[in-house]
Structure 1
């Protein structure tokens, strides 16, 4: 004879009692009376032939069989709720999530994303930025734009913006500390450093100067900052010379608020890469193609 299948209408009630350890609090959370909650729990116990809770004046504590059932019920409800949220999200206007770092989000993506929204007004766009380039790609992102080398990313990644770096400062800083006719002269000025935990994927002042045949130890007056937005703000405040990534500082160069003061350095196979994440929806495909076209 086949085992009788459990009636599952009690799942929410059982989960609430197990989580809260109280019939009364479970009833309050679910908007039910305590007798109704007690009745449902007893029905399940009758069906299983075991006691699921140890009841006392202090509340209702799960028994050993109750613990086993609670783990299965709670996990199942979480998956059901997540599936329901996903179904509702997809039933609404198409939504896409793109994951990137603060510098790219602030200086490249945000000034342009309004153009995408005008082209696709029905699509909801979510931009998720991280301070650390070592963070994993957010699980629910449709795509990411991340900085690094070709070997840092899967074969499906596409180079959007190659790394091109030029030292920049304000005209006022240049007038006070310049001219900087050679790289060695820059090494004597206050420099602004973009810091990170772990291995930096981008050019640093050490690697930029090395490309010019110059070595330099960190000097008094240098300033280290942990986001590129801070580096740019410090350069605009005339606190030092920054490395300017072409694509991120273009607007400042065009406006003349920052000026390039030394040769550009490029690195092959390094830069911002478009990394697809989950199977692309039509909206996600539209966004990734727009990113490619813009870059």
Structure 2
């Protein structure tokens, strides 16, 4: 046949052979029956053989046509499959989100299934680390950062401001002294985060003066460790409501005293300038804003 295959003619022959009709093949290919007939004649002249037996109500494969038709059907099916795989891959969008591990585990990851159900075409990669990601260099599309909102050169939007709430194991509180006022927390071991400042600020905000709370009790680098220590009955932890919610829902922790206090830092949605023009970034940003502002979260916070 030479080095150049007459693909149009081969496709016309394959579809006509599948359907036993030039008209039906023309409808599939989006051309006229005459064009299909002409392509088949080109192929027959190229091969110097008749591929069809013309009948009154259609066409039937000749002996020669029947020998090559199955292989051509498989070949075109493979081509169509390969193209469909490529199209699916091009439609799949990857989104890389960076945030701290405690927020990813307690707030973001449990909700991601809902986002994937809404946007199955977007594949989300979560990078959870205490290290601050460089959006310009690290290939991160959007970050959820915990801080004061000062991120020069980036697009910044405030998402939510958590509150601090004292939590403890139910068994610890059952066995220990009653907690009726903030000062009663000092009867227990206080569990701290890494900078050990929250307990002192919380106690002072609720009228407990001259306490050396920053020096009492163990400290933990991550809120996840802080929560686990509290759930194990090691003391009372002062943690963000967003981080403690799963433990509270499951009954592993309870609120020791319904005295909330705003955390020093808020959560911010951070992206590179112009990133919102990407449909995947825009879709995720709209979704996470709605999640942060959801009535369920607001009512949960106000009940503590």
Question: So what's the TM-score if we normalise by structure 2?
Answer: 0.59
Q: CA deviation at 1:267?
A: 4.9
Which structure: larger Rg?
2
Give the Cα–Cα distance (whole angstroms) in 2 for the partners of residues 187 and 259 of structure 1.
Answer: 17
Q: CA deviation at 1:137?
A: 3.7
Is the contact between residue 98 and residue 144 of structure 1 (CA under 8 Å) also seen in structure 2? yes
Give the Cα–Cα distance (whole angstroms) in 2 for the partners of residues 151 and 206 of structure 1.
Answer: 25
Q: CA deviation at 1:244?
A: 2.7
Give the Cα–Cα distance (whole angstroms) in 2 for the partners of residues 293 and 205 of structure 1.
Answer: 31
Give the Cα–Cα distance (whole angstroms) in 1 for the partners of residues 228 and 206 of structure 2.
Answer: 26
Q: CA deviation at 1:195?
A: 0.6
Is the contact between residue 164 and residue 245 of structure 1 (CA under 8 Å) also seen in structure 2? yes
The SS at the match of 1:157 is strand
Partner residue in 1 for 2:242: 247
The SS at the match of 2:144 is strand
Q: What are the ranges of 5 or more consecutive residues in structure 2 without an aligned counterpart?
A: 1-88, 293-304
Partner residue in 2 for 1:59: none
Give the Cα–Cα distance (whole angstroms) in 1 for the partners of residues 124 and 91 of structure 2.
Answer: 13
Q: CA deviation at 1:245?
A: 1.2
Partner residue in 1 for 2:226: 231
Is the contact between residue 144 and residue 277 of structure 1 (CA under 8 Å) also seen in structure 2? no
Partner residue in 1 for 2:203: 209
Q: Which has the higher helix share?
A: 2
Is the contact between residue 162 and residue 272 of structure 1 (CA under 8 Å) also seen in structure 2? yes
Mean Cα deviation higher: 238-247 or 136-145: 136-145
TM alignment of 1:121-200, pairs within 5 A? 121-132=120-131, 135-138=132-135, 139-151=138-150, 156-195=155-194
Considering Cα pairs closer than 8 Å and 6+ residues apart, tell me whether 1 or 2 has the greater RCO: 1
The alignment of Structure 1 onto Structure 2 pairs a total of residues equal to: 198
Partner residue in 2 for 1:98: 97
Give the Cα–Cα distance (whole angstroms) in 2 for the partners of residues 157 and 193 of structure 1.
Answer: 29
Q: What are the ranges of 5 or more consecutive residues in structure 1 without an aligned counterpart?
A: 1-89
Is the contact between residue 95 and residue 123 of structure 2 (CA under 8 Å) also seen in structure 1? yes
Partner residue in 2 for 1:284: 281
Query: Structure 1 pair 152/192, CA: closer, same or farther in 2 (3 Å)?
Result: farther
Deviations, residues 97-122 of structure 1 (Å, cap 9, x unaligned)? 11100110000011111111111111
The SS at the match of 2:252 is coil
Q: Match for 1:266 among 262, 265, 284? A: 262
Q: CA deviation at 1:293?
A: 0.7
Partner residue in 2 for 1:109: 108
Query: Structure 1 pair 153/171, CA: closer, same or farther in 2 (3 Å)?
Result: farther
Query: Structure 1 pair 240/267, CA: closer, same or farther in 2 (3 Å)?
Result: closer
RMSD (CA atoms):
2.5
Deviations, residues 10-32 of structure 1 (Å, cap 9, x unaligned)? xxxxxxxxxxxxxxxxxxxxxxx
Deviations, residues 23-44 of structure 1 (Å, cap 9, x unaligned)? xxxxxxxxxxxxxxxxxxxxxx
Query: Structure 1 pair 150/174, CA: closer, same or farther in 2 (3 Å)?
Result: same
Partner residue in 2 for 1:222: 217
Question: So what's the TM-score if we normalise by structure 1?
Answer: 0.61
Give the Cα–Cα distance (whole angstroms) in 2 for the partners of residues 163 and 154 of structure 1.
Answer: 25
Is the contact between residue 99 and residue 137 of structure 1 (CA under 8 Å) also seen in structure 2? no
